Structure 1
Amino acid sequence: MKISNRRSSAGGRRTPAAVALSAVLALTATACGDDGSGTGGDKGAEGSGTGKVVFWDNNGGVRTDIWKEIIADFEKANPDIKVEYVGIPSTDYQSKVDTALQGGGLPDVGGVGAAMLAGFAAQNALEPLDDRFAKSSLNGKLNDDLVASMKAAGGGDDKLYSIPTSANNGVLYYRTDLFKKAGLDEPTTWDKFYEAADKLTNKGKNEFGYTIRGGAGSIAQALDAMYGQSGITSFWDSGNEKTTVNDPKNVAALEKYAGLYKKVTPAADLNNDFTKMVAQWDSGTIGMLNHNLGSYQDHVKALGVDKFRGIPQPTGPGGKRVQVSNPVDGLGVFKSSKNKEAAWKFIEFAVSAAENSKWNESAGAVPANSDAAKDAWISKAEPTKLAAEALSDGSTTIVQLPYYLPDWNTISKADNEPNFQKVLNGDMSAKDFLDTMAGQLNEAQTEWKERNG
């Protein structure tokens, strides 16, 4: 069973944003499906299509304001439905859902990104949305590759459990004012990146060349730096059985990257998740930050548009850029909902062109709705525009992460984030860290293939 990079064959001219979606989010799997049975209990009910809907935001605090604006729009258009908003920080979301799965209390609708989709689907927690989507106003309006990536991430049964809302991409943000003052070139290559990180560091003045993510969410960023430097273009070997994460080239790349900690980064980075890392970069004198399109507006608010740029990840030798895929975000209906019809109405409204554009402009991400992806703000948001160009000019290869594995989110977070902190502290070697992760991934891949034929 092989993962393949799927590119849309649909005709018609596509905007750079749509091309970006096609290039970065093509994630499909050919699989033998199962009967869809799982461990979920309550099958819920359709409900009246009116009344109250409980919505859990999987990025609470960060996207609370824009969601409340969309909810207000929805309630104005649907006065017989009230939406109860519950904002949950991204770092707590999976555990919150898992706890509710065991003890009850799941919402009607919630954020369900590709990275956690397979795990929830394996527990039979989500309502299949294929029929609703086919009959809805969204049919034909969402990027085909995004929809396909969500189906592939569901664990192998080719069902659509989450409606995509947005696509993200890795970005290297850098302080143009600090680079100019130091006489440094733009960090377009990994060599220039390391040179700048060193030159911009002056610990005595609390100035650092880079901020590294050591807290929640650190693994995907570390993988991005690894594959970007090693140039390895596939997550699995040719037999699709053994992962390449512990390839010697990746080990060497991680050793170099982790070696930046405390040498050219603040010590606080060890525990920083993305919100703390972004806030630290926005308020201090740190030269570079790796994140994604989602923090662009935060930087604009803090620094203005003249003191920083957000560019595609650095290239390696020969101008080759390799990036790992960033998970698609989306919205799903929980199977236990007693008001599925109203929950679906909320999703359909939230992913409509106007609301999807509004949400993604706030987040700085690429809209899933194809009409929203044509809006003028995208060409004005430089990191989004540059990402689209880089993904369409042939210079970038995407390494697809195995979101389809039910254990992926656990392996890439709970199992290995503490170990990555040990690597940063020098208490664990990069090789031991990657060998441990490789063993877990290989076992999960074997189990998945046996289960799905």
Structure 2
Amino acid sequence: MKISNRRSRRAALAVALGSVLALTATACGDDGSGSGGDKGSEGSGKGEIVFWDNNGGVRTDIWKQIIADFEKANPDIKVKYVGIAAKEYQSKVDTAIQGGGLPDVGGVGAAMLAEFSAQNALEPLDERLTKSSLNGRLNKDMVASLKAAGGGDGTLYSIPTSANNGVLYYRTDLFQKAGLDAPTTWDKFYEAAHKLTDAKKNAFGYTIRGGAGSIAQALDAMYGQSGITSFWNGDKTTVNDPKNVAALEKYAALYKKVTPAADVNNDFTKMVAQWDSGTIGMLNHNLGSYQDHVKALGTEKFRGIPQPVGPGGKRVQVSNPVDGLGLFKSSKNKEAGWKFIEFALSHAENSKFNEAAGQVPANTEAAGDAWIQKAEPTKLAAAALSDGSTTIVQLPYYLPDWNTISKADNEPGFQKVLLGKMSTKEFLDTLADQLNKAQADWKQNH
């Protein structure tokens, strides 16, 4: 726990610094001072800007299309694309904040927003949005979500591009052959996971995420089964509530019994590729992998449905972070960077991006486009979030240490749970202790 305590103190200092800077900017007007004393500038609105994609490799093709469209419409601006894998992105940005070399524009989703803004690395965007053609054309809930995730000062530091949602993908051909109902409840989910498994034939009922990004997915399955609807009970987290401990214990016990052994190290790209190319019954991921499944399986062999409902008929799931684009304060050409953000969020480009990603567009005009009705998981997800059938457990993205706690600090611990080297209770108690300290630090400084 010494390492964790040191990290907690460092996080507290970062939050305190970020709070002082935010208050100073509010009281005196933003002086433009960025990280490392680099205040950046508006620039000429021409020349080259650098864009860092926070999901490089997965979204590279579609971003290059958008960049080509932008450069055609703005021949005096060139965009240098840098694709960075999702699991490496936060550390790359943190290193650049401390040592220099930040891009002009980069992907800044809700999960990493508080940490970047606490280091004063992001340009406030409220005034730019108010004066923009985008004003009134972006989903209000997505904008509010990014404002709430910004660390507590109510400032908008990222413009939303899309919203994601948890999806249970299942192989309809395998379910029909086995005479199974669709896994719309957790009981049916577990029944199918066991019935579809025949390890000798390399057939498995489920693939579980044990590598990078495993914690949020585990929390989704945990709260979905326990039915607990709030992440906090006062100032204490509910992650280690006995109901959650029992739920995660049951879920983690699926590993190697109905899942491939490789799952303990699989991030989402490996997990998705494994499901698309094999005979695995079910996969929990999100809307983002829908197009991958279509390419691999067509639309006849699988479906993507909202997460299963619990015994009371209520669906509970954790929030999925809204993704967005941020303008870094150290940019020497903020005018050109903002033009790129505006263009990427326009009706046509935001629709194009989200059709490729299979996600819900932030641009309200794009959200009405015909392709959404044809993409069943996106259509069902949108309905589930608006018809009263689903309760969302809001994850604390506003904590500057959230991304570190939910990734680097605890992913190895979850792997130990899967391998039987740590109890579920010990894992969740450790996670709860870190979260409670981070929450106390945050409240003290806000």
TM-score above 0.5, yes or no: yes
8 Å Cα contact 1:40-1:125 kept in structure 2: no
Cα RMSD, aligned residues only = 1.2
- State the partner residue of 2:24: 35
Q: Within 2, Cα distance between the matches of 1:40 and 1:351?
A: 30
For the residue of structure 1 that corresponds to 2:41, the secondary structure is coil
Q: CA deviation at 1:285?
A: 0.3
- State the partner residue of 1:170: 166
- State the partner residue of 1:384: 378
Among 391, 399, 418, the alignment partner of 1:397 is 391
8 Å Cα contact 2:245-2:428 kept in structure 1: yes
- State the partner residue of 1:356: 350
- State the partner residue of 2:13: none
User: Are residues 1:414 and 2:408 paired?
Assistant: yes
The 5-angstrom pairing of residues 261-272 of structure 1 reads 261-272=255-266
Q: Within 2, Cα distance between the matches of 1:374 and 1:39?
A: 39
- State the partner residue of 1:438: 432
Q: Structure 1: which amino acid aligns with 2:24? A: D
Structure 2: unaligned runs, 5 residues or longer: 1-18, 26-32
- State the partner residue of 1:337: 331
User: Are residues 1:44 and 2:9 paired?
Assistant: no
8 Å Cα contact 2:112-2:397 kept in structure 1: yes
- The superposition leaves residues 229-267 of structure 1 with CA deviations (integer Å, 9 ceiling, x where unpaired) of 000000000x2x000000000000000000000010001
Q: Within 2, Cα distance between the matches of 1:74 and 1:267?
A: 45
User: Are residues 1:117 and 2:104 paired?
Assistant: no
- The superposition leaves residues 390-412 of structure 1 with CA deviations (integer Å, 9 ceiling, x where unpaired) of 12221110000000000000000
User: Are residues 1:375 and 2:369 paired?
Assistant: yes
Q: Within 2, Cα distance between the matches of 1:39 and 1:251?
A: 41
Q: Within 1, Cα distance between the matches of 2:75 and 2:209?
A: 43
Q: CA deviation at 1:313?
A: 0.1
Q: Within 2, Cα distance between the matches of 1:191 and 1:242?
A: 30
For the residue of structure 1 that corresponds to 2:148, the secondary structure is helix
- State the partner residue of 2:296: 302
8 Å Cα contact 1:170-1:290 kept in structure 2: yes
8 Å Cα contact 1:323-1:396 kept in structure 2: yes
Q: Within 1, Cα distance between the matches of 2:372 and 2:265?
A: 33
- State the partner residue of 1:320: 314
User: Are residues 1:191 and 2:187 paired?
Assistant: yes
For the residue of structure 2 that corresponds to 1:319, the secondary structure is coil
Q: Within 1, Cα distance between the matches of 2:91 and 2:62?
A: 24
Give the TM-score normalised by structure 2.
0.93
Q: CA deviation at 1:361?
A: 0.3
Q: Structure 2: which amino acid aligns with 1:367? A: P
Q: Structure 2: which amino acid aligns with 1:272? A: N
Q: Within 2, Cα distance between the matches of 1:433 and 1:221?
A: 15
Among 231, 234, 238, the alignment partner of 1:235 is 231
8 Å Cα contact 1:38-1:122 kept in structure 2: no
Structure 1: unaligned runs, 5 residues or longer: 1-30
User: Are residues 1:292 and 2:286 paired?
Assistant: yes
Matched residue count: 420
Q: CA deviation at 1:331?
A: 0.1
User: Are residues 1:159 and 2:155 paired?
Assistant: yes
- The superposition leaves residues 14-53 of structure 1 with CA deviations (integer Å, 9 ceiling, x where unpaired) of xxxxxxxxxxxxxxxxx99733598553111110000000
Q: Structure 1: which amino acid aligns with 2:61? A: D
Q: CA deviation at 1:85?
A: 0.2
Among 51, 62, 80, the alignment partner of 2:76 is 80
Over the matched positions of the two proteins, sequence identity in percent amounts to 84
- State the partner residue of 1:281: 275
